[in-house]
Structure 1
Amino acid sequence: MSADRAPLRQALARGEEEGGSIEFKTRLTRDTHLVDGRLESLAAQLRHRVLSGDGEATYVIGVDDDGAIAGISPDTFSESMDVLSLLAEEADAHIDDVETWGIEEQHSSGSRMQSDGIVGIATLQDGPMLETDDEHVVVGTAGHVDHGKSTLVGTLVTGDRDDGQGGTRSFLDVQPHEVERGLSADLSYAVYGFDEEGPVRMDNPDRKTDRAGIVQEADRLVSFVDTVGHEPWLHTTIRGLVGQKLDYGLLVVAADDGPTETTREHLGILLATELPTLVAITKTDMVPDGRVEEVEDEVEAMLREVGETPLPVDRHGIGAAIEEIGTTVPILRTSAVSGEGIDQLDTLFEALPKRESDANAPFRMYVDRSYSVTGVGAVASGTINAGTVEAGDELLLGPMPDGNFREVQVRSIEMHYHRVDKATAGRIVGIALKGVDEAEIERGMALVPRNSEPNPVREFEAEVVVLNHPTRIGEGYEPVVHLETVGEAAVFSPEKGRLLPGDTGRTTVRFKFRPYLVEEGQRFVFREGRSKGVGTVRSLDTS
């Protein structure tokens, strides 16, 4: 709910005018406004408002015709938005933004009290909702804390040089304590793109219209899932790398520090999930050239230790990196302060192909986050794993703790603050759902078609590789398993009784508390203390 009431005051002050772009509505209901030819009449009115506003109209919902604030319930406002969306579609327009405010009621004692009623403004734009058939590459960043991941991403999406104090990182730090400490404690998302003239960047990443503009204007999109590097939050990094449908990995190594144990762990996770990866050596402006060369040699040695072939771009060129990423690991020298390597990264991200998509498979999305929007309701956010979803689709959400799935319907879809009519595999989206409360949605749940027959499991067989463990893994070992967006305690039962560091072997994995939707071939990461490993689901126990 918006705190700044200025847009509401301005709209009420301007008022409805004959031939103007503002319309007041107390409410819009299906039973009243979509029957007996009213849809066509109201759509014509909406079209007139949009044309009067040079392609933009403002609908104030929850006020009387004279501009007096009436206030309506959240459910009624939600229905009003559904009806307005249908009217806009009929009028070849779309809802671009919605803001809502609570209202106060006069108490008999003279005091004012907050009521349950709300009033809202919907901004409508000419033209249909954005189609998203363009290529959209999703890149996951990883690396040690303070090695410059967020700063590098900030410079890429804005084109601004950093001030040497992490200024371009600031818009990715979404919590107040993160801004104070200069650390990112959750996943952040950023986007930029390319058109025929080159990069399309944001002037102000804090302004959601800038992000929406990138999605609308660019022919090709590049999204970053910017993860964390601090050891206490390693589970968040794992969630970012395993729980998203990524196309490429970007591992950063600071020139003033070099590869660390965390760097090696993140590299292991990237490679174990079979993600084509490149390495950016950051902060090259802070050290002599000799130190940069020394760190590059350390990175090459680190890659060779795990069986990968390094490809230093300074020696082999950006063209070789584009052609050979996946079979080699390109290494670039970069600085967000001096701009070194930024043009090369632009060239790389503009040219890298989208990895093969499961767009034609049945729809599936694992929930990463959920939240509630006044007037819209429960929203499930995540990356679409497979298939396509459209507004109005009927889906199943689950499994719930008892193993059952809930029937839901897609109210609307949003991608990077821009409402879209459909989205396909690989897109990071927020899906507003009818039929479920936000409190019932949990990370690790999945959305699948209603006509499917999902079979959640508590137990499965897996092949695992132990990356790091102080002793051995035996019967009853209890790590946290990260599979898609699932992060759940599980019990291991190794086939041969134990697994040693560096071992590859089979084990039964049983979730301790509840079932999840798991499929053969899915990759996962497990960790417990300093113990870490990766695995692949081989068979399911559906009994």
Structure 2
Amino acid sequence: MEPLVSELFGGSGSAQARGSRCGPGRGSTSSSRGRGLAAGSSARGSASGRGSTSASGQASVSVSGLSAQGQKGKLVAAPKAGHKKAKGRPRGRNNPPYLPPEAEEGNIEYKLKLVNPSQYRFEHLVTQMKWRLQEGRGEAVYQIGVEDNGLLVGLLEEELRASLKTLRRMAEKVGADITILRERDVEYDTDSPRRIAEVLVRKVPDDQQFLDLRVAVLGNVDSGKSTLLGVLTQGELDNGRGRARLNLFRHLHEIQSGRTSSISFEILGFNSKGEVVNYSDSRTAEEICESASKMITFIDLAGHHKYLKTTIFGLTSYCPDFAMLVVSANTGIAGTTREHLGLAMALKVPFFIVVSKVDLCTKATIERTVKQLEMVLKQPGCNKVPLLVSTSDDAVMAAQRFAQSPSITPIFPLSGVSGVNLELLKVFLNVLPPLTNSKEQEELMQQLTEFQVDEIYSVPEVGTVVGGTLYSGICREGERLVVGPTDEGKFLPLKVCSMQRNRSACRVLRAGQAATLALGNFDRALLRKGMVMVSPEMHPTICSVFESEIVLLFHAKTFRRGFQVTVHVGNVRQTAIVEIIQGKEELRTGEKAVVRFRFIKHSEYLKVGAKLLFREGVTKGIGHVTKLHPTSNDQNI
């Protein structure tokens, strides 16, 4: 990855910034997660039969799902051609298609048939469904007509309907809802038509209000990020002049210029049946939270170079599960697009791509932009497999494979004005599973409480309020924590008076969840961004000096002792000076070393292993913290 990241960061020659990636349970997924009807054929063929092999040997997908109409070259989705044949490896009548064998762990369950089970068998099936839902943190996928070894046998129409009826009874027993994602025909040693079904089962866990995924929105200025979010969350198409984005802006100059300069949050909900819940049928965020069983929280970040440090802070402190890179179809890869792509890769944030404004372009222009993206994604060091989404089946498969394999990069050509392919993005977000499984989540919740302070407010009649993400543990209303470090390196006691998630009150906050916490009469002047609120039993350690193993991604000349950079570690952002480069006098682009940094202002709370990203002008690098040199008064509470 490093050569490509270095190229992406160094190619623009502009003053650019870097950040670090944080977040509970990142970078690991269940081996069985994300297997769909086409997952088994991913290694043997291309998506939905439209794949081709590039010179680099990686699968690519053409834009055959789009067609041009009218003199303006407006794009519409190609019509669906009925039920498709299930794809697998090349086969004859005696060489049937396979999925990967069923895994004991994960949220994927194979069932050949569920026709008239006995009462004992039914109770066993219900228990099994509870286990799969727990593994998927409230979501499970059932493959009906598939044997445990992955053989796609298929069922007759009567058997399939009876099996789906039984599955619906099972879901009702556990308080869940089912959504049929897709049905497909399969040929296997019989003249009778047989079909397989893929079903999503969703149930909000008893101890949660809703499932929550955070998606950071990246892309060059004027690529249509805020407009796309406005269309998704407001439920109304844009007028072509930016009307949809007005509700997202926080400042007057943003409305006047049409450019985002701060971090804003927007929510898109899905109910248990997979239907969209947004402001088109709900007047407030509280109503959306009450109706939704799954919530997508979009983190709208700035695209202009001027606000790059704000974009980096959003990526590093808010710990997004995924990133959505928005690329304008008419301009292609331009401005900060490469840099934002490099940020996502350096921080190991899984990302998918939206090609916006296709209503302004011809088919040839869109193909050129997609090919541009494919070339960048396939470069050595990146090794991504682009997957163009043009049908609902593609969207379902892309969501499952995307969560399973970090090498898959879905691409959605769409328009917020005409609405072309907008539904495909909604299908993708509805099916997209969380990256962490129940076991990883449980391990995080068993740790001591650690809450990162990202925002600070003063609310009338409420007092001081802080916003951020709970990195580990469980935080309850009324809990007593300590916050710091202050400029003197101390931690101060406080009490959590109340909590809200998406403007909806809650009593318990769990690891990985973002929320705002009311602190009552606690003096706001004592707080700053970059602090943490932790359990007193943690005895937090702070430091001004720390060591990090780094890779210098780009530097115009040589990187040597005494150089000052802005360091990003989680929600910490502070200038530091290079004290020592171990074993070397200087570093050049692409070289690695262990470097000792010293913060120039005050001590910070860091952890060994935390990812680090630094920048200064065109100088940038990434790494991780390897050693702390604690401050002498690190435990003054």
The alpha carbon displacement at 1:204 in A equals: 6.3
Partner letter of residue 240 of structure 1? G
Contact 1:187-1:228 within 8 A present in 2 as well: yes
Answer yes or no: is 1:167 the counterpart of 2:243: yes
Instruction: Give yes or no for contact 2:563–2:577 (8 Å, CA) kept in 1.
Output: yes
Matched, 1:153 2:153: no
In 1, are the aligned partners of 2:279 and 2:288 still within 8 Å (CA)? no
Q: Equivalent residue for 1:121?
A: none
Give the SS at the match of 2:567: strand
**Counterparts of 1:409 and 1:344, CA distance in 2:** 45
Residues 312-391 of structure 1: matches in 2 within 5 Å?
Answer: 312-314=387-389, 317-325=394-402, 326-356=406-436, 357=441, 358-391=444-477
CA distance in 1, matches of 2:297, 2:458: 24
2:386 corresponds in structure 1 to 311
Note the 1:127-526 alignment, pairs <5 A: 132-203=208-279, 210-305=284-379, 306-314=381-389, 317-325=394-402, 326-356=406-436, 357=441, 358-434=444-520, 436-492=522-578, 493-495=580-582, 496-526=584-614
Deviates more, 1:227-236 or 1:302-311: 302-311
Distance 1:246 1:466 in 2: 25
Q: Which residue is 1:83 aligned to?
A: none
Change (3 A) 1:443 1:323: same
Give the letter aligned to residue 309 of structure 2: H
Deviation at 1:523, TM superposition (A): 1.4
| TM-score w.r.t. length of structure 2 | 0.62
Superposed displacement of residue 360, structure 1: 3.1
Unaligned runs of 5+ in 2: 1-205, 632-637
Q: Distance in 2 between matches of 1:153 and 1:359?
A: 31
Structure of higher RCO (CA pairs closer than 8 Å, 6+ residues apart): 2
Q: Write the deviation string for residues 148-188 of structure 1: whole angstroms up to 9, x where unpaired.
A: 11111111222211111122111111011111111111100
How many angstroms does 1:212 deviate by?
1.3
* 1:23 matched residue in structure 2: none
Tell me how far 1:203 sits from its aligned partner. 2.6
Please report how far the alpha carbon of residue 223 of structure 1 lies from its aligned counterpart in structure 2 after TM superposition. Answer: 0.3
> Given residue 359 of structure 1, which amino acid in structure 2 is its aligned partner?
M
Check conservation: 1:161, 1:336, Cα contact below 8 A: yes
Q: Is the 8 A contact 1:284 1:334 kept in 2?
A: yes
Q: Distance in 2 between matches of 1:473 and 1:530?
A: 12
TM-score (normalizing by structure 1): 0.73
Question: Residues 393 and 300 (structure 1 numbering): CA distance in 2 closer, same or farther, change over 3 Å?
Answer: same
Aligned-pair identity in percent equals 30
Shift of the alpha carbon at 1:490?
0.7
> Quick one: distance in 1 between partners of 2:385 and 2:328?
17
Residue ranges of structure 1 left out of the alignment (5+ in a row)? 1-129
Q: Is the 8 A contact 1:269 1:534 kept in 2?
A: no
Query: Is the alpha carbon distance of 1:159 and 1:310 closer, same or farther for their aligned partners in structure 2, counting shifts above 3 Å?
Result: farther
Q: 1:479 is paired with a residue of what secondary structure?
A: strand
**Contact preservation (8 Å) 2:377, 2:386:** no
SS at match of 2:261: coil
Residue 338 of structure 1, CA deviation: 1.7
State how many pairs are aligned: 412
| Alpha-carbon distance between aligned partners in 2 of 1:525 and 1:160, rounded to the nearest angstrom | 38
> Which residue of structure 1 lines up, in the alignment, with residue 194 of structure 2?
none
CA distance in 1, matches of 2:277, 2:553: 39
In structure 1, give the amino acid aligned to 2:398: A
Q: Deviations over 1:285-330 (max 9, x none)?
A: 1111111110111111112234231322247922342233222222
Deviations 1:90-141 (A, max 9, x none): xxxxxxxxxxxxxxxxxxxxxxxxxxxxxxxxxxxxxxxx963432001111
Q: How does 1:55-134 map to 2 (within 5 A)?
A: 132-134=208-210
Residue identity matched to 2:531? M
Measured in 2, the distance between the counterparts of 1:140 and 1:235 equals 15
For the residue of structure 2 that corresponds to 1:467, the secondary structure is strand
Which one-letter code corresponds to 2:630 in the other structure?
T
Residue 538 of structure 1 pairs with residue 626 of structure 2: yes
The whole-number CA distance in structure 2 between the counterparts of 1:233 and 1:443 is 17
* In structure 1, distance between residues paired with 2:420 and 2:385: 20
Secondary structure at the aligned position of 1:525 is classed as: strand
SS of 1:361 mapped into structure 2: coil
The SS at the match of 1:234 is helix
CA distance in 1, matches of 2:280, 2:621: 40
Range with greater deviation from structure 2 (518-527 or 355-364):
355-364
CA–CA separation in structure 2 for the residues paired with 1:387 and 1:435: 25
User: What's the secondary structure of 2:445's corresponding residue?
Assistant: coil
1:49-95 CA distance string (max 9 Å, x none) = xxxxxxxxxxxxxxxxxxxxxxxxxxxxxxxxxxxxxxxxxxxxxxx
Question: Structure 1's 344 and 466: CA in aligned 2 closer, same or farther, altered over 3 A?
Answer: farther
Q: Provide the secondary structure at the position in 1 that maps to 2:232.
A: helix
> Which residue of structure 2 lines up, in the alignment, with residue 75 of structure 1?
none
Amino acid at match of 2:219: G
- Provide the aligned C-alpha RMSD in A: 2.0
Quote the offset at 1:449 in angstroms.
1.1
CA contact (8 A) 1:199 1:346 kept: no
**C-alpha deviation, 1:435, in angstroms:** 5.8
Write the letter of the residue equivalent to 1:248: F
**Cα distance in 1 between the residues matched to 2:590 and 2:244:** 39
Helix, strand or coil: the match of 2:337? helix
Instruction: Give 3-state SS (helix, strand or coil) of 1:508's partner.
Output: strand
Moved more, 368-377 or 194-203: 194-203
Segments ≥4 residues shifted beyond 3 Å: 130-133
Q: Which amino acid aligns with 1:318?
A: A
Q: How far did residue 497 of structure 1 move? A: 2.6
Inter-CA distance 131–192: structure 2 relative to 1 (3 Å threshold): farther
